[in-house]
Amino acid sequence: MLKLTLRLLPFALLLSCSSDQSSQDETDPLNRGGILNPVSVTEQNALLGTGMNMGNMLEAPSEGEWGLTLQEDVYFPVIKAAGFSHVRVPVRFSAYTGNSAPYTLNETFLKNRIDNILNSALNNGLSVIINIHHFDELYKTPAEHKAKFLSIWKQLGARYKNMPKEVFFEILNEPHENLTAELWNTYLAEALTVIRAENPNRTVLVGTAEWGGIGALTKLVLPNDPNLIVTIHYYNPFEFTHQGAEWVSPVLPTGRLWPSGSDQTNFETDFKTISNWAVAKSRPVHIGEFGAYSKGDLLSRANWTAKVRTESKKYAFSLAYWEFGSGFGAYDISKKTWNSTLLKAITGNN
């Protein structure tokens, strides 16, 4: 009997360890199975569908500084119920690192904010995009802050490697200034290599230089990676979408209606240009930001917004409205109600 007990002991210990590991995995909020097999990037882009940007929240110098905090367990059910399929979450990750190498991200911030946001989105049936947003130092002095940029993605990639395919990474929002198109091609390739070390099957979004618009599309050189979505920000015509915006200098006059003159033709030409490039490069497209500021005429804003939606659907682009509850907002946070005119324009639903 003693000999039999001794023989069974290793097996019992193995079962115990296996059970403990299983229990640990089940309770680990960052372990949701990962992405075990390659995915179809076309299907991933379709999965994104129509989304909402959670703007003026976590990309502020500190959350709340621009008037809004991301109340994920309150807002995400509302967004899902309205018919959206994903949220894009801009984050100023550069404000939450150490000042010197290895630029360790603040664990409390990651645990209490990013971990919770990702899990809340998934629990509410929403896909989620996280990006590095407003890394102003990188735009001004790229070489000086490149190591921090790559370190952030090394840490995020390792931390979220076991998240499912519904979690997307976007490398950097609107590269510009001294982060030129040529330099951006190098930086994005290096960041992608860092991400792929722990996330070989994760879908990654890559934007264009020169503020993320159409103008630098032909300058974008993508690595030979089949799981990339190109993200474009669309705010044309700028004098319409940003009329009265206080941060634009000089402030653009209000009263600009849409459509006016050649607006429709120019709009269709823009989207055809994006589509022609995407087809030639065999790349799916995400219109990662689009919106018209609240100081414009509401009907014109709705007409323009609906046009972005219909043209995007025509070319099978996914899209995300900018943004939820601030100056471009489709949702009145204080009244807890949607602007029904804008919501219909964004989603196409009554």
pLDDT score of 3 more than 60: no
pLDDT score of 12 more than 80: no
Domain boundaries, given as residue ranges, for the chain: 37-347
Give 243-284 pLDDT, tens digit per residue: 999 999 999 999 999 999 999 999 999 999 999 999 999 999
Q: Are 322 and 53 in contact (CB under 8 A)?
A: yes
Give 146-198 pLDDT, tens digit per residue: 999 999 999 999 999 999 999 999 999 999 999 999 999 999 999 999 999 99
φ, ψ (nearest 5 deg) of residue 116: -65, -40
pTM of this prediction exceeds 0.85 = yes
Lowest mean pLDDT among 15-19, 61-65, 110-114, 185-189: 15-19
Q: Are 213 and 176 in contact (CB under 8 A)?
A: no
- The identity of residue 269, as a single letter, is T
* Closest CA relative to residue 105, chosen from 36, 173, 153: 153
Give 115-124 pLDDT, tens digit per residue: 999 999 999 9
Distance CA 192, CA 110 (A): 21
φ, ψ (nearest 5 deg) of residue 257: -95, 165
CATH superfamily of domain region 37-347: Glycosidases (3.20.20.80)
* Closest CA relative to residue 78, chosen from 124, 113, 115: 124
Output the pLDDT for position 26.
Answer: 57
Output the pLDDT for position 350.
Answer: 74
Q: Which residues contact 162 (CB under 8 A, 6 or more apart)?
A: 28, 30, 31, 32, 33, 34
Q: Is the peptide bond before 259 cis (omega within 30 degrees of 0)?
A: yes
pLDDT score of 225 more than 80: yes
Please state the length of the chain. Answer: 350
Distance CA 345, CA 350 (A): 9
Q: Which residues contact 239 (CB under 8 A, 6 or more apart)?
A: 252, 256
Comparison of pLDDT for 75 and 1, the residue scoring more: 75
* Closest CA relative to residue 223, chosen from 186, 276, 267, 180: 186
Q: Are 132 and 91 in contact (CB under 8 A)?
A: yes
pLDDT score of 22 more than 50: no
pLDDT score of 297 more than 90: yes
Provide the annotated active-site residues: 174, 289
